[in-house]
Structure formats: structure tokens, C-alpha cells
Amino acid sequence: MSQLNSPQLDSKLLQEHVQRLSGVESAIDIVVLERVFSTNDWAMQQCRQGRQLPFVCFAEQQIAGRGRRGKRWLGGQAANIMMTLAWPFALEYPTMQWLPLMFAMAVVRALETLGMDDVQVKWPNDVLVENKKIAGILLETSALANGKRAIVTGIGLNYDISALRNAIPAAAMPVTDVCTMQNKNGHHRDVRLAKVVSSRNEVAAVLLESCINFCKNFPANHVAVRDEFLKQHDYCRGKLLDIMLADGTKLSGTGAGVNDQAALVVQIDHQQRVFHSAEVSVRAL
């Protein structure tokens, strides 16, 4: 039995929630799909077909959800919030490198609004609560005719995975969900959501509103976002890390933050190494 009777996501309700949370009319096009292979694939196809940006799609069921490096995102009917936001950016490459961490911090802000503490980001785009994964992010790009790029950002946020726990591999990172954490904490930082557990529509709206705010203020706010990440939300900093490179090389060292290009910095054999792309795992204490 689910922890909470989760109604279907409703685009009209989402629009109303986003408007209430932000205090302004939301012009973003919101689509709720009943069943889709991948929200990112659907959004990329819409971009290629010239759909007006920005837009966002949610899926009740995603049968081929993807994470980074081809990993599968576990999901079930009404268990997760599966969202892809397509937003037009005119950015140079160095600035674009901050986007994964920016969206991760948008998820952090949403979870804090929903009453959660000890929310951290495992570089570059996993979000954890109390050392358990609650969300993952996948960014892709699509060139637009006007010289801008559509950044297509898929976010999978665990809402109520109680029915899926038996399907989670034993070796996987520990996971949690919104229902578990809200029941545990029993409070909200945002008095407008002052209930023990928020509905899926409320959680989806808080998440979307946070992402929209970050997109509107980027790149002007990326220095502040970086500083907040480094001071409060860097899960890898000071921990012993295993780094797996694309060619199969495995390295180990201590996390030392990120540099000005949002690359991971790791102390290895008394030298600082920089990684722009790698599979990172944190060793158990």
C-alpha cells in the first residue's frame, strides 16, 4: 500500500500551484504524459520539431528512463516525479558547465522548501538527503535555429518508492523519497505547504518553480550558487572518492571541491587532479 493516495499529475493544477508559489502568472507550457519511453527523448523531439520554448513535460509512467552514462532510472506509476524542462539559453561553453550543478541546487532549494534538512549534491548531479539518493539529473542539448541552445533537463525525484524497494539492487546507493522524509521531519520551511506530506502536484510544482527561478537568474547568479554549493551542499568534499574514467581507469583520492569550470577537484597522491567527466563513488565510512 502506498504511503499516500497520490492523485494523477494535473497540468492545470500545476499551473495554479506554480502561480501561487511564485506570485506571478506562469507562461510556461506544461504537458503531462500518461506513458512515455523517456521525458528527455520526448522533449528533444519536440525541440527538433520547433515547439515554442520554454516548456516542461511530466510523465506518469516512463518505461525507458535514462540517467547519466546510460544508467536506468527506476520508476513506477505515481512513484516518482519525472520531469523534463526545456529552456533556451545563449551561453558560452564554460558557463554551460555550471548547468548540472545549478539544476542540482534548484532541486536542493525545492527539497528545503518541502522541509528537508541535510540536503547535499554528489557531483555532478545526484541529490541526497541524509546520505541517501532522492533525485538524479540528466542534461542534454539541442541546437536552435536562432543560435541559442535548448537545454533539456530531466529530473527524476523519488516521491513514494515504498512499492519499488524490492526492485532496488542490493549494491545500489541507499535511496529515500519525499514521503519518507516529510513523515520523518513533520514540518515545512514554507508555511504555504504546512502539511505532513505534500501531494505529488504540490511537490512537482515546488520543483518546477525552483527550476524556473534558477533558469531566469542564470548565469548572473552562478557565482552565488557555486558558493552556496561549496559551503553547504558539497557531498564529495573531504571524502575518499573512487573515480572511474571513460577508458576504465580507476583512481582514488579525497574530494577537494570544484574549480571555476565546475569540474571536480580531487587530491590524489599529494597532487590536485581535475575531472570534467567521470563516474564518482564515495567510499563508505
Q: What is the pLDDT along the chain (285 residues), one digit of tens a residue?
A: 344 445 789 999 999 888 887 766 667 899 999 989 899 999 999 998 889 999 999 999 887 655 544 455 555 666 789 999 999 988 777 788 899 999 999 999 999 999 999 999 999 889 999 999 999 999 999 888 777 789 999 999 999 988 776 566 555 689 999 999 998 876 666 655 555 678 999 999 999 999 999 999 998 888 898 899 999 999 999 999 999 998 999 999 999 999 989 999 999 999 999 999 899 999 875
Say which CATH topology domain 236-282 has.
SH3 type barrels. (2.30.30)
Q: CATH 3.30.930.10 in the chain, residues?
A: 11-232
- Looking at the chain, the domain(s) classified CATH 2.30.30.100 span 236-282
With contact defined as beta carbons under 8 Å apart, do 269 and 228 qualify? Answer: no
CATH 3.40.1670.10 corresponds to the domain 11-232: no
User: Under a CB-based contact definition with an 8 Å cutoff, are residues 14 and 40 in contact?
Assistant: no
Phi and psi angles of residue 119, each rounded to the nearest 5 degrees, phi first: -100, 125
Q: Is the pTM of this model over 0.85?
A: yes
Helices 200-217/11-22 angle, 10° precision: 50
Task: Quote the distance between the C-alpha of residue 125 and its chain's center.
Answer: 7
Edge-to-edge order in the sheet of strand 80-89: 29-36, 55-62, 80-89, 149-158, 132-143, 126-129, 119-122
